[in-house]
């Protein structure tokens, strides 16, 4: 009997958090996942059941159509997806208005006319956008077989519909054991973003506060790693801004790690840290899974909402408020092994609907 094949939509840029969605699915199932806009990414070069859904020429045609003839792009995209049996969307912050109502009305029409079972895993919404945008998103959700969300606000947005389920973030389902390395006692890993993406005032305060924290950690003779999760979104630029603001340069005690698609290496890097300061949401999740102390920072409502839903009880500090005042145990969380196991079991419920149609390893 032929295996069910999956067309999987993920964030196209090399981003550790989003790449983990596809990685977790590929490790759970033996089925083949056809992923769009994958030809330029190295993240899955060694994963045999994750393959591009379009050739390099097809990707180029898609980009041209997207710019010049978006309706034809939707037709081309639907034709590609219908070559597989089901359509899965690896979630995250996928429902963002971005001042583009026309896009979301076309996206609604696309989903309603796809004629394939649709599964959305681990999504959240933002609070922005007009009622027409919100109506389009609700119609998309109603058309899906299963939708899992990672915060209470998103569940309420979808009116607690019977096909919408609230669960801890999908990445809590990751098995970290094989990536665990010997933890370096006292070591710290800081995931850095480009704070200037959120305005000059926030950027200035963020980099000033973060530089104070780095200097204090170094003064305590800790090894510090500055980590970029996504170059395209400016994390590497953020590290440059931080080094400029602090006057520090990389050395034996201060290193820089930039994720470039090697998922295992990135997970081992995080797993070695005793303290994770997470500007990136998934830096906090991965730190908690590895048993590290985590000090969460936030640039949106996503982080406090999703951590609260997972039962993580500690303050979440806005980027512009970071500094020595929050570098305390009162602002940190650390999970026990039993708490990690419980969260992992709950997060695996994201796959209940897919388990009915796909084949487990």
Rounded alpha-carbon distances, angstroms, from residue 16 to 93, 107, 311, 317: 14, 26, 23, 22
CA–CA distance, 124 with 112 (Å, rounded to integer) = 20
Q: Is residue 132 part of a domain?
A: yes
Whether the per-residue pLDDT at 185 is higher than 60: the answer is yes
The reported pLDDT for the residue numbered 69 is: 64
Indicate the pLDDT class of residue 58, thresholds 50, 70 and 90. low
Reference 110, options 9, 231, 24; nearest CA is 9
Q: How buried is 1 (Cβ within 10 angstroms: 0-12 exposed, 13-18 middle, 19+ buried)?
A: exposed
Mean pLDDT in the chain? 91
Residue whose pair of structure tokens reads 């993406």 in the numeric block: 197
* DSSP state for residue 326 in the 8-state scheme: G
Same domain, 160 and 99: yes
Give the mean pLDDT of 47-76. Answer: 71
Same domain, 166 and 245: no
β-bridge partners, 294? 276, 333
Q: Is residue 275 part of a domain?
A: yes
Same domain, 127 and 224: no
Same domain, 167 and 52: yes
Domain of 233, CATH number, reads 3.40.50
Same domain, 237 and 292: yes
Same domain, 124 and 196: no
Q: Is residue 65 part of a domain?
A: yes
Whether the per-residue pLDDT at 39 is higher than 60: the answer is no
Reference 193, options 279, 277, 260; nearest CA is 279
Let me know: does 26 contact 44? Beta carbons within 8 Å.
yes
Whether the per-residue pLDDT at 347 is higher than 80: the answer is yes
Same domain, 164 and 192: no
Give the mean pLDDT of 56-74. Answer: 67
What phi-psi label fits residue 317: left (phi over 0), alpha (psi between -120 and 50 degrees) or beta? Answer: beta
Encode burial over 30-65: b for 16+ CB neighbours within 10 A, e otherwise. Answer: ebbbbbbbbeebebbeeeebbebbbeeeebeebeeb
Indicate the pLDDT class of residue 45, thresholds 50, 70 and 90. confident
Q: How buried is 138 (Cβ within 10 angstroms: 0-12 exposed, 13-18 middle, 19+ buried)?
A: middle
Same domain, 207 and 251: yes
Q: Is residue 1 part of a domain?
A: no
Give the mean pLDDT of 23-40. Answer: 86
pLDDT digits over 106-123, tens only? Answer: 999 999 999 999 999 999
Same domain, 57 and 124: yes
Domain of 31, CATH number, reads 3.40.50.11720
Reference 23, options 1, 3, 49, 4; nearest CA is 49
Q: Is residue 296 part of a domain?
A: yes
Q: Is residue 360 part of a domain?
A: no
Domain span at residue 277 reads: 177-339
CA–CA distance, 247 with 239 (Å, rounded to integer) = 12
For the entire predicted model, the pTM comes to 0.93
More confident residue, 356 or 182: 356
For the chain, how many structural domains are there in total? 2
Q: What percent of the chain has pLDDT over 70?
A: 93
Q: Which residues contact 49 (CB under 8 A, 6 or more apart)?
A: 26, 29, 30, 31, 32, 33
The reported pLDDT for the residue numbered 62 is: 61
Same domain, 247 and 328: yes
Two tokens, residue 115: 């004629």
Q: Is residue 269 part of a domain?
A: yes
Same domain, 90 and 128: yes
pLDDT digits over 133-168, tens only? Answer: 999 999 999 999 999 999 999 999 999 999 999 999
Q: Is residue 149 part of a domain?
A: yes
* Maximum average pLDDT range among 43-47, 77-81, 89-93, 350-354: 350-354
Whether the per-residue pLDDT at 297 is higher than 60: the answer is yes
Same domain, 168 and 181: no
More confident residue, 68 or 358: 358
The reported pLDDT for the residue numbered 56 is: 62
Rounded alpha-carbon distances, angstroms, from residue 38 to 74, 231, 282: 18, 16, 21
Q: How buried is 162 (Cβ within 10 angstroms: 0-12 exposed, 13-18 middle, 19+ buried)?
A: exposed
């Amino acid at each position: 009997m032929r295996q069910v094949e999956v067309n999987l939509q993920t964030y196209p840029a090399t981003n550790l958090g989003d790449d983990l969605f596809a990685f977790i699915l590929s490790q759970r199932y033996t089925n083949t996942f056809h992923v769009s806009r994958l030809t330029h990414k190295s993240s899955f070069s060694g994963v045999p059941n994750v393959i591009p859904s379009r050739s390099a020429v097809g990707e180029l045609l898609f980009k041209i159509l997207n710019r010049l003839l978006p309706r034809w792009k939707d037709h081309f995209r639907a034709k590609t997806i219908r070559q597989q049996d089901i359509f899965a969307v690896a979630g995250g912050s996928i429902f963002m208005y971005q001042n583009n109502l026309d896009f979301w009305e076309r996206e609604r029409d696309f989903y309603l006319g796809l004629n394939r079972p649709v599964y959305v895993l681990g999504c959240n919404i933002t609070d922005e956008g007009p009622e027409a945008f919100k109506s389009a998103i609700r119609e998309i959700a109603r058309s899906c077989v299963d939708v899992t969300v990672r915060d209470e606000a998103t569940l309420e947005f979808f009116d607690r519909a019977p096909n919408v389920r609230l669960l801890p973030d999908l990445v809590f389902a990751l098995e970290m054991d094989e990536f665990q390395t010997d933890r370096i006692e006292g070591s710290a890993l800081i995931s850095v973003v480009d704070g200037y993406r959120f305005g000059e005032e926030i950027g200035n305060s963020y980099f000033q506060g973060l530089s104070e924290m780095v200097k204090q950690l170094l003064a305590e003779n800790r090894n510090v790693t500055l980590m970029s999760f996504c170059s395209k979104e400016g994390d590497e630029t953020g590290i440059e801004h931080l080094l400029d603001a602090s006057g520090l340069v990389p050395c034996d005690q201060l290193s820089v790690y930039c994720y470039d698609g090697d998922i295992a290496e990135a997970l081992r890097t995080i797993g070695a840290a005793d303290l994770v300061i997470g500007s990136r949401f998934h830096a906090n999740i991965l730190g908690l899974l590895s048993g590290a102390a985590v000090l969460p920072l936030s640039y949106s409502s996503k982080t406090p909402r999703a951590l609260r839903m997972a039962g993580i009880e500690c303050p979440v500090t806005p980027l512009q408020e970071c500094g020595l005042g929050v570098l305390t145990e009162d602002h940190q969380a650390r999970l026990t092994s039993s708490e990690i196991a419980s969260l992992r079991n709950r997060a695996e419920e994201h796959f209940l609907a897919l388990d009915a149609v796909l084949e487990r390893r």
